[in-house]
Amino acid sequence: MAKPQPVVINEGLKEYLVEEIIDSRRRGRGHQYLVRWTGYGPEHNRWMSGTALDDCAALDRWLELNGNRPASR
**What tens digit of pLDDT does each residue of 15-68 get?**
888 999 999 999 999 999 999 999 899 999 999 999 999 889 999 999 999 887
C-alpha closest to that of 21 among 33, 38, 6, 4: 33
Q: Model-level pTM greater than 0.85? A: no
Domain spans, the chain: 10-66
Better-scored residue on pLDDT, 6 or 73? 6
User: Could you tell me which of 29, 35, 55, 58 has the C-alpha nearest to residue 47?
Assistant: 35
CATH class of 10-66: mainly beta
